[in-house]
Amino acid sequence: MIRLHLSKKRNIVIVLILIIGCATPPDPDIDFISVPDLSTKDYCRGNGYILSKGTFDGRLNFTFSTSRDSAYIEFRDIIGRKILFLVISNNDIDAWDMQNNRRYNKESILIALPMFELIEPNELRTFLWGRIPSIFSDVNNIKSESEDLNREIQFESVQTQFGSLVNIISFRMKDKNSQISLEVTKREFDQQYSHLIREIPNAIILINENS
């Protein structure tokens, strides 16, 4: 386990956990913050689930399809009903409340998904690829452990044929008594879910944070 404290405006603790198998002793020369080489891959698709405690308690399953500059994520409840659809393009995010057929603005997204107070949309896309966002592996962002921090991000990874890929990212916000965990249970590279690749219809009503 490696714990890093970052000096970025988002005051958070980063915990990196790498699962490399109990039978293999750790190699002291391995750089656990390095990322696998996926430069030959153009697309990634997969599925997983999100667990939330605090503002919202429960579990949602999700499927995703992502490229180098965009990502599409559809969340469903445990009985398969469509709940939320996210479109991430570069560092912008758009959200569709599919249950109530409403569109979120940025402020409403922060209320529904407070994890975006800790990471940028493009950093979530990086996680979907199985990599740790570069901002969290930059030693120049390390800060003193004596500082009182109320927020934490934890990454967990597993060994695959492509190297060590991040499969779990957890967000803990002590100041809000909230915790969110996303786990990717399956990834496929150079493949897409064509039904996910779409924009949110312009006819969907936009709501603001006070709606």
Question: If pLDDT is split at 50, 70 and 90, which confidence band does 111 have?
Answer: confident
Could you list the residue range(s) of the whole structural domain that residue 13 is in? 2-20+43-198
99 belongs to a structural domain: yes
What percent of the chain has a predicted confidence (pLDDT) above 70?
A: 73
Contact (CB, 8 A) for 50 and 62: yes
Question: If pLDDT is split at 50, 70 and 90, which confidence band does 7 have?
Answer: very low
162 belongs to a structural domain: yes
59 belongs to a structural domain: yes
Question: If pLDDT is split at 50, 70 and 90, which confidence band does 10 have?
Answer: very low
Contact (CB, 8 A) for 184 and 128: yes
Question: If pLDDT is split at 50, 70 and 90, which confidence band does 41 have?
Answer: very high
The answer, yes or no, to whether residue 173 has pLDDT greater than 90, is no
144 belongs to a structural domain: yes
140 belongs to a structural domain: yes
Domain count, the chain: 1
The predicted model gives 22-30 an average pLDDT of: 42
Phi, psi for 78 (deg, rounded to 5): -70, -15
193 belongs to a structural domain: yes
Average pLDDT, the chain: 79
28 belongs to a structural domain: no
The predicted model gives 157-183 an average pLDDT of: 87
Instruction: Kindly report the CATH number assigned to the domain that includes residue 134.
Output: 2.50.20
27 belongs to a structural domain: no
